Amino acid sequence: MTERLSPRAILDKLVSFPTVSHDTNLPLIDWVEGYLSSHGIESFRHPHETDPAKAALFAHAGPKVEGAVVLSGHTDVVPVEGQPWSTDPYEVVEKDGKLYGRGTCDMKGFDALAIWALVEGHYGDLKRPLQIALSYDEEIGCTGAAPLIESMDKVLPKGSATIVGEPSMMGAVTGHKGGQGFDVHVRGFEVHSSLMHTGVNAIMYGAKLIEWANEMNAENQAKTPSDIAGTFEPPWTTVHVGMIEGGTAHNITALDCRFGLDFRIVPDETREAWSARFKAKVAEVEAEMQAVVPESHIALNEQFYVPGLLPEDAGEAEALVRRLTGDNAPRVVSYGTEGGHFQGGGYSTVICGPGDIAQAHQPDEFLTVAQFEAGTQFMRDLLAELAG
Ligand SMILES: [Zn+2]
């Protein structure tokens, strides 16, 4: 008979795979697939559309009926380059009640609990099914979740409640802002700056778009927040430019200016509306540029889109997590997750996972043993609930 690994043993294994988002996650997926299969659990892969080095995986335990609870985690982690680690980041090192290692907190700790619970559920007597969904590319814009959900919906009986196990100290988190990023490339026309009226300075036109971001922030801040927006800090949609480059010399009108412009959108406003407003401003600035030099232009590249998680009215997933944890505090967070994709796909969705988001992405990332145990207890309680 195949060994049933403890949550800790599964965590050790998962952390040992350096699944940084820009690298392959296949060795981890192979291992999970093999482990589940050794227990007679069939799992399904969703290969990345363009990158053969990545795949997502999902699996089902319990009766083949709709209404599963889905445990959702990502398999990728952020890089360790340039971070001062005191231990090998790809080995779980336990010290002073903490489990150190890249991804222990974000979020292989939860992944390990989900895999453990699925195997326990498989051997138990579930009346209601349990599913796991392990994605790729979460850390680079949550781009793996939507195709994974689509693929699950085709193969498995559809689940109804999703728990996204991002670190929340095992509290129920019901909402977060959405995110939309753009790469902006302003292409101007170079002339000597003494004749700047005949050129198009990409930096100076780019500055108009950045000033628009400032105006939007001021306008949003001045508005009375909606009930939903009011739960966030800050309670409005923000527009941010975090990096910029451009220009050649003091006395040349800049040919190029590139910058990244990101929206963090309160979940009762839409990215469509904000994108449309931004694009209208881009068109206005571009028209001014082209009135000087017709071939100058602005190119926009959509970098990522993370839909917001909208707090649900009497949501099933929230009710389930509150029942199991006894946590009744209202809570929204500032980070994005795959939760909005699940919610958009027709699942009631809540965030609940072990660990503190403050540890995520840090050198010497850790998950406390106490949080890992709290997560294990949560899974036991969940299994008991699913067994009716
Ligand atoms: Zn995460």
pLDDT single digits (tens) 327-361: 998 899 878 899 999 999 999 999 999 999 999 99
Residue ranges of domains in the chain: 7-175+309-386, 178-306
Distances 246 to 43, 79, 82, 253, 263 between C-alpha atoms, Å: 49, 27, 26, 10, 22
Report residue 241: phi and psi, to 5°.
-115, 115
pLDDT single digits (tens) 125-166: 999 999 999 999 998 888 889 999 999 999 999 999 999 999
Strand partners, 301: 183
- What is the structure's pLDDT at 330? 85
284: tokens are 């206005």
Which residues in 281-313 are b (16+ Cβ under 10 Å) and which e?
A: bbeebbeebeebbeebbbeeeebebbbbbbbbe
pLDDT single digits (tens) 23-32: 999 999 999 9
CA distance 277 to 259: 18
Q: With 80 as the cut, is the pLDDT of residue 1 above it?
A: no
CA distance 156 to 130: 11
- What is the structure's pLDDT at 143? 84
Q: Is 227 part of the annotated catalytic residue set?
A: no
- H helices, E strands: number in the chain: 9, 15
pLDDT single digits (tens) 106-124: 999 999 999 999 999 999 9
The H-or-E segment that residue 153 falls in is: helix 145-155
Compute, in angstroms, the gap from residue 335 CA to the centroid of ligand 1. 9
CA distance 28 to 76: 10
Indicate the burial class of 72 (C-beta count within 10 angstroms; 0-12, 13-18, 19 or more): buried
Compute, in angstroms, the gap from residue 142 CA to the centroid of ligand 1. 9
Compute, in angstroms, the gap from residue 254 CA to the centroid of ligand 1. 39
CATH topology of domain 178-306: Alpha-Beta Plaits (3.30.70)
C-beta separation of 365 from 104 below 8 A:
yes
Pick the closest to residue 54 from 92, 86, 19, 82 (CA basis).
19
Instruction: Choose, from 33, 76, 139, 166, the residue flagged as catalytic.
Output: 76
Provide the strand spans (E) within the chain. 43-47, 55-61, 69-74, 93-95, 98-100, 130-135, 161-164, 175-176, 178-187, 238-246, 256-265, 297-306, 332-333, 348-351, 366-368
Fold agreement (7-175+309-386, 178-306): no
pLDDT single digits (tens) 257-292: 999 999 999 988 999 999 999 999 999 999 999 999
pLDDT single digits (tens) 303-334: 888 999 999 988 999 999 999 999 998 899 87
Compute, in angstroms, the gap from residue 37 CA to the centroid of ligand 1. 26
Q: Is 138 part of the annotated catalytic residue set?
A: yes
% residues pLDDT > 70 (the chain): 100
C-beta separation of 206 from 317 below 8 A:
no
Does residue 234 have a cis bond before it (omega within 30 degrees)?
yes
% residues pLDDT > 90 (the chain): 93
Instruction: Choose, from 106, 111, 138, 286, the residue flagged as catalytic.
Output: 138
Indicate the burial class of 218 (C-beta count within 10 angstroms; 0-12, 13-18, 19 or more): exposed
pLDDT single digits (tens) 33-85: 999 999 999 999 999 999 999 999 999 999 999 999 999 999 999 999 999 99
C-beta separation of 29 from 47 below 8 A:
no
Compute, in angstroms, the gap from residue 166 CA to the centroid of ligand 1. 5
CATH topology of domain 7-175+309-386: Aminopeptidase (3.40.630)
Compute, in angstroms, the gap from residue 191 CA to the centroid of ligand 1. 47
